[in-house]
Amino acid sequence: MRGLRGMRVRLSFEKGPEVRFISHLDTHRTFARALRRAGLPVAFTRGFNPHPKIAFAQPLAVGATSSSDILDVELESRIDPAELLRRLNSSLPGGFEVTGAKEIPQDAPSAMSEVAASEYEARAPITGGGDPQGAALRLLGSPVVIVPARGGDDRRGPRDIRPLVLRLSGKREKDAAAFEMLLRSGGGRSVRPDEVLLAVDRMGDGWLDLDAAVYHRRRLYRASDSGLEPLD
Amino acid sequence: MAVHIDNTIRRVSKPARYTGGEWNQVVKDHNEVDVSFAFAFPDLYEVGMSNLGLKIVYHLLNRRKDVVCERVFAPWIDMEALMRKHRIPLFSLETRKAIGEFDVVGFTLQYELTYTNIVNMLDLAGIPVMARDRTERDPLIVGGGPGALNPEPVADMFDCLLVGDAEDALDEMVDVYLDWKRHGGRRQPGARESLLEAMATIEGCYVPSLYRPEYNPDGTVRDVRPSRSGVPPGVRRRIAAPLDLADYPLAPPVPFMEVVHDRAVVELFRGCTRGCRFCQAGMIYRPVRERPLEDVVRASRELVRNTGYDEVSLMSLSSTDYSGMSGAVRRLVGELGPLKVNLSLPSLRVDAFSVGIAEQIHSVRKSGLTFAPEAGTQRLRDVINKRVTDDDILEASRAAFEAGWDAIKFYFMVGLPTETEADLVGVVSLIGRVAALYGRMRRSDGRAARGRPKLTVSASSFVPKAHTPFQWEGQATTDELEAKQAFLRDRLRPRGVRLDWHDAEMSAVEAAIARGDRRLTAVLIAAWKRGTRFDSWTEMFEWATWNEAFRDCGVDPSFYANRRRPDTEVFPWEHIDARVSKGFLLRERDKALAGITTPDCRSGVCEACGACG
């Protein structure tokens, strides 16, 4: 269906605390259904089991919130992106909100293939004594930072995440440690914020309550000539 | 007060089971309504959210301005453990309100093996399990669904139970409750009695505490009779007729997570005219009430618009029996196809016509077809009144193969009354003929002659149920059932046919409860105390624990499950009038044993079962 009549739209959306336990697969289903409820002219794949042509830039872990995730939607006919945003928002369950919609060229690379880095906030209660910024600096100063395999389907084994941590800072907020991090993601070489927090925890000998940690994704980035630029 | 769960829930599997917030969920300010109702489904979210009854009740209650209905499901064991550890009471999805703070808690009785979950949910809510231990400060505990047709095994746990359709009766029950609450009922010690007496005047509403069972020396029931004057001697099942689309849920909550039946559901009709003698649903939902085609089309259209589902399922006990089915399917396919919405049919009759309908619908996917011959020989099919011939089965299979399906699943039952080894041999030879048919067709197509169809036989165990012609019959013992399963397995597997079977021990517990009396409540509670939950889940079911629970209570399960009951015996459910007469059921039982079939009501021949009268 790609052609003169259709169009591609890149949406940025928030995933709020109400829906933080909704998995990536469920989020996909939620958007597919919301698009249908909104009566938007979504393009479908051909074949025996057509499904809507929507593609997310990057899955978000269950439990995390996000202020700017990315979704590409392919449409069969043209529509004002502002109109699409309005109609989709009125069909989305509370907790999901589309904050931006802009047309992208038909031949633009997919958001998924473009993602190069993700920016996160992570917060965890401090159980013992510890200095968040000190731990962050220690991690950045280490030539090698090994995290264990996660078990389950993670077949990678222990690996060095140090090259994947692009920025990291920490500060104390009452009884919690708050970190900001910019992490390499996409292209098969990526690190997750909980892995970084685990490494930070080990810098200080288990001083964080990792079970109670919360994660928020601020933004996704693509590579640019000057380094990184926001994907949305 | 909302229950705080965020820090607990992150550690459980599928936390979305407990967080609500779905599209179309209804959230109301509890200060703005007069009655709060918690609809409690005693199984997992993904099972409960697939249930049409839940959606109907949610709609019937929430359309009223003076009522709020919220949902709660049984927490899986990981969640239960955390709730108990952190002292989190059972809470509703919509507002996370503690279930003990609702005015009314309504459980649906879908399946006997969910009953220990009811005990568990009451306990997690901090509500006394036995009705007699509850006071005006506790919620009123009500029940409904097919299990209410023999409510006795759970009778002592419920304040009242609705027998039959909810469409009209639920409003009447709410009105009675409202009136009582407005007169200060929830603040007056002892006022519960007057509420229950008022409830008992509603047709279909059974108040167990107003009835007392008496037993004969041999342990059988002498009678269940009102314990005081003014209480009706029995309870008549409510029948909603005609089915009004205004009562139908056209905007049900749309789950985030994948549920068992993840699609829009349109009920084509309620009831079934086929009269299969083992089938409780075929008896207790009589008479057939079809929805007009215009309603079906409108419902499909609105459901798709309101939910965004990509599939509409036409539900009923035997959907291809719907009047004018071909035309209806054509119209719906025409209507939904352009929206990229599929149509599906859950229950296919065994004949070529049905395959034709399925072909029209599943033009896109050839995943698999399901037929339910139930028994392997004509003799036994006549006994159970499944009026399907070998030719029907072969013709339906031929039509399916011709249309491109190469996977067919056949549902059979083992342990049916009068069954002998010859009937099991019949299953094997019938499936063999289907496989041979496939081979012949492949050869005539010029394709490889060695191809095998993917045939599956699902063998469930016969469980005699109340209000059916087989309610007097005994269930085969677990040893016998397992021997029958092994007989089929040994003969089907070498032919490349896959055999699925139901755990015979689960069927035995189901059978004991299904035709049990009030003495079963103690067993349910004893089993729960010993740790049983989610007994319908194979990985959770513990036969040894159930046997201990039966022993704890001095109850012999075979007395209920395996014993053939004489015609003169009084059933524990004798006071529940399912609107299908005992005389009819006895006639059907006698015809069954004589191998005589009874025609479909749609044929015009009336057997005077009593449902239409």
Residue with tokens 């439990």: A63
Burial B144-159 (b: 16+ CB within 10 A, else e): bbbbbbbbbbbbbbbb
Residue A89, C-beta contacts closer than 8 angstroms, at least 6 positions apart: A97, A98
Residue B59, C-beta contacts closer than 8 angstroms, at least 6 positions apart: B247, B248, B249, B250, B251, B252
* Domain assignments of chain B as residue spans, ordered by start: 6-236, 263-502+581-603
**Alpha-carbon distance values, B34 to A36, B69, B80, B185, B538 (Å):** 36, 11, 31, 13, 42
CA angle B260, B264, B270 (to 5 degrees): 90
Q: What is the mean pLDDT of residues B410-417?
A: 97
Residue A140, C-beta contacts closer than 8 angstroms, at least 6 positions apart: A165, A168
> Residue B423 above 80 pLDDT?
yes
Chain A residues in contact with B257 (beta carbon < 8 A): 22-23, 26
**Cβ–Cβ < 8 Å for B609, B603:** no
Chain B residues in contact with A33 (beta carbon < 8 A): 23, 254, 307-310
pLDDT score, position A1: 44
The dihedral formed by the CA atoms of B376, B347, B242 and B308, expressed in degrees to the nearest 10: 170
Q: State whether the Cα torsion A132-A133-A134-A137 is positive or negative.
A: positive
Chain B residues in contact with A94 (beta carbon < 8 A): 21
Distance, CA of B146 to CA of B162 (rounded, Å): 10
- Partnered with residue A65 across adjacent β-strands are A216
Q: How far is B306 from chain A (nearest CA, A)?
A: 6
Please state the separation of Cα B484 from the chain's center in Å: 26
**Cβ–Cβ < 8 Å for B395, B441:** no
Q: Is there a single domain that holds both residue A91 and residue A126?
A: no
Q: Is there a single domain that holds both residue A121 and residue A138?
A: yes
Label residue B40 exposed, middle or buried (CB < 10 Å: 0-12, 13-18, 19+): buried
Which one of A25, A26, A36 makes the best mutation probe of the B interface by having the most chain B beta carbons within 10 Å?
A: A36
Q: pLDDT tens for residues B381-408?
A: 999 999 999 999 999 999 989 888 888 9
Chain B residues in contact with A62 (beta carbon < 8 A): 10, 15
Q: State whether the Cα torsion B17-B368-B498-B450 is positive or negative.
A: negative
CA closest to B25 among chain A residues:
A93
Could you tell me whether strands B454-461 and B498-501 are parallel, antiparallel, or unpaired per DSSP bridges? parallel
CATH number at residue A167: 3.30.70
Q: What percent of chain A has pLDDT over 70?
A: 95
Q: Is there a single domain that holds both residue A43 and residue A87?
A: yes
**Alpha-carbon distance values, B156 to A79, B91, B124, B141 (Å):** 61, 23, 18, 11
Longest dimension (CA), chain A: 62
**Cβ–Cβ < 8 Å for B498, B455:** yes
| Two structure tokens written together for B296 | 């079906």
Q: Is residue A192 part of a domain?
A: yes
> Residue B464 above 90 pLDDT?
yes
A33 vs B308: CB contact, 8 Å cut-off? yes
Q: Is there a single domain that holds both residue A85 and residue A189?
A: no
Residue B389, C-beta contacts closer than 8 angstroms, at least 6 positions apart: B378, B381
Q: Is residue A1 part of a domain?
A: no
DSSP A163: G
Distance, CA of A41 to CA of B330 (rounded, Å): 24
> Residue B365 above 80 pLDDT?
no
Confidence of residue B581 (pLDDT cuts 50, 70, 90): very high
pLDDT score, position A5: 80
Label residue B366 exposed, middle or buried (CB < 10 Å: 0-12, 13-18, 19+): middle
pLDDT score, position B613: 76
CATH number at residue A54: 3.30.70.580
Q: How far is A123 from chain B (nearest CA, A)?
A: 13
Q: What is the mean pLDDT of residues B234-250?
A: 97
* Parent domain of A59: 7-108
Distance, CA of B331 to CA of B424 (rounded, Å): 42
Q: pLDDT tens for residues B307-357?
A: 999 999 999 999 889 998 989 999 999 999 888 898 988 777 888 888 888
pLDDT score, position B476: 98
Q: How far is A210 from chain B (nearest CA, A)?
A: 11
Q: Is there a single domain that holds both residue A93 and residue A182?
A: no
Q: Is residue A210 part of a domain?
A: yes
Say which CATH topology domain B6-236 has: Rossmann fold (3.40.50)
Chain B residues in contact with A19 (beta carbon < 8 A): 21, 256
Q: What is the mean pLDDT of residues B491-514?
A: 96
A29 vs B364: CB contact, 8 Å cut-off? no
Q: pLDDT tens for residues B54-98?
A: 999 999 999 999 999 999 999 999 999 999 999 999 999 999 999
Say which CATH topology domain B263-502+581-603 has: pyruvate-formate lyase- activating enzyme (3.80.30)
Cβ pairs A/B, distance under 8 A: 72
Confidence of residue B8 (pLDDT cuts 50, 70, 90): confident
pLDDT score, position A3: 53
Distance, CA of A9 to CA of A104 (rounded, Å): 6
A23 vs B257: CB contact, 8 Å cut-off? yes
Q: Is there a single domain that holds both residue A80 and residue A183?
A: no
Distance, CA of B151 to CA of B33 (rounded, Å): 30
Residue B5, C-beta contacts closer than 8 angstroms, at least 6 positions apart: B18, B19, B88, B91, B96
CA closest to A91 among chain B residues:
B23
Which of A49, A81, A108 is a domain's end point?
A108
Region of poorest pLDDT, from A2-16, B312-326, B532-546:
A2-16
Q: pLDDT tens for residues B176-203?
A: 999 999 999 888 888 899 999 999 999 9
Of A149, A148, A219, A153, nearest to A182 by C-alpha is A219
pLDDT score, position B356: 84
Q: What is the pTM of this model?
A: 0.95
Confidence of residue B271 (pLDDT cuts 50, 70, 90): very high
Count of structural domains, chain A: 2
**Phi and psi dihedrals of B7, rounded to 5?**
-80, -20
Locate all alpha helices (DSSP H) within B86-165, ordered by sequence. 115-125
Centre a 10 Å sphere on the Cβ of residue A69 and count the other Cβ atoms it contains: 26
Helix, strand, coil percentages in chain B from 3-state DSSP, rounded to 5? 40, 15, 40
Which one of A23, A26, A35, A37 makes the best mutation probe of the B interface by having the most chain B beta carbons within 10 Å?
A: A37
Confidence of residue B362 (pLDDT cuts 50, 70, 90): low
A21 vs B9: CB contact, 8 Å cut-off? yes
Chain B residues in contact with A52 (beta carbon < 8 A): 340
Chain A interface residues (partner B, CB cutoff 8 A): 17-19, 21-23, 25-27, 29-30, 32-37, 39, 44, 48-50, 52, 62-63, 91-95, 211-212
> Residue B44 above 90 pLDDT?
yes
Chain A residues in contact with B23 (beta carbon < 8 A): 30, 33-34, 37, 91-93
pLDDT score, position B1: 64
Q: Is there a single domain that holds both residue A12 and residue A89?
A: yes
pLDDT score, position B406: 84
A26 vs B16: CB contact, 8 Å cut-off? yes
Distance, CA of B3 to CA of B15 (rounded, Å): 15
Which of A108, A124, A150 is a domain's end point?
A108
Q: Is there a single domain that holds both residue A46 and residue A78?
A: yes
Q: Is residue A197 part of a domain?
A: yes
Q: How far is B410 from chain A (nearest CA, A)?
A: 25
Q: pLDDT tens for residues B146-167?
A: 999 999 999 999 999 999 999 9
Q: What percent of chain A has pLDDT over 90?
A: 78
A49 vs B7: CB contact, 8 Å cut-off? no
pLDDT score, position A33: 97
Of B10, B305, B364, the CB nearest to A37: B305
B308 vs A32: CB contact, 8 Å cut-off? yes
Q: What is the mean pLDDT of residues A51-76?
A: 95
Of B254, B256, B364, the CB nearest to A49: B364
Q: Is there a single domain that holds both residue A186 and residue A87?
A: no
| Two structure tokens written together for B32 | 């703005």
A35 vs B308: CB contact, 8 Å cut-off? yes
Of A21, A32, A211, the CB nearest to B16: A21
Centre a 10 Å sphere on the Cβ of residue A192 and count the other Cβ atoms it contains: 19
A26 vs B21: CB contact, 8 Å cut-off? no
| Two structure tokens written together for A84 | 């699409």
Q: pLDDT tens for residues B113-122?
A: 999 999 999 9
Mapping DSSP to helix (H, G, I), strand (E, B) and coil, where does residue A125 land? strand
Residue A82, C-beta contacts closer than 8 angstroms, at least 6 positions apart: A101
Q: Is there a single domain that holds both residue A142 and residue A214?
A: yes
Q: What is the mean pLDDT of residues B31-43?
A: 98
Of B9, B21, B254, the CB nearest to A18: B21
> Residue B443 above 80 pLDDT?
no
Q: Is residue A146 part of a domain?
A: yes
Q: State whether the Cα torsion A44-A45-A51-A55 is positive or negative.
A: negative
Who has greater pLDDT, A128 or A216?
A216
Chain A residues in contact with B22 (beta carbon < 8 A): 93
Chain B residues in contact with A30 (beta carbon < 8 A): 23, 256
| Two structure tokens written together for B527 | 């089993």
Centre a 10 Å sphere on the Cβ of residue B353 and count the other Cβ atoms it contains: 17
How many Cα atoms sit within 13 Å of B549 on the Cβ side?
24
Chain B residues in contact with A92 (beta carbon < 8 A): 23
Which one of A15, A18, A20, A21 makes the best mutation probe of the B interface by having the most chain B beta carbons within 10 Å?
A: A21
B280 — alpha (psi -120 to 50), left (phi > 0) or beta? alpha
> Residue B611 above 60 pLDDT?
yes
Q: pLDDT tens for residues A96-136?
A: 999 999 999 999 999 999 999 999 999 999 987 789 999 99
> Residue A2 above 60 pLDDT?
no
pLDDT score, position A155: 66
Chain B residues in contact with A91 (beta carbon < 8 A): 23, 308
pLDDT score, position B470: 98
Q: Is there a single domain that holds both residue A185 and residue A88?
A: no
Distance, CA of B583 to CA of B601 (rounded, Å): 17
Q: What is the mean pLDDT of residues A178-207?
A: 89
Q: What is the mean pLDDT of residues B208-228?
A: 96
Q: Is residue A14 part of a domain?
A: yes
ipTM: 0.91
Which of A93, A108, A123 is a domain's end point?
A108
Chain B residues in contact with A49 (beta carbon < 8 A): 364-365
Q: What percent of chain B has pLDDT over 90?
A: 85
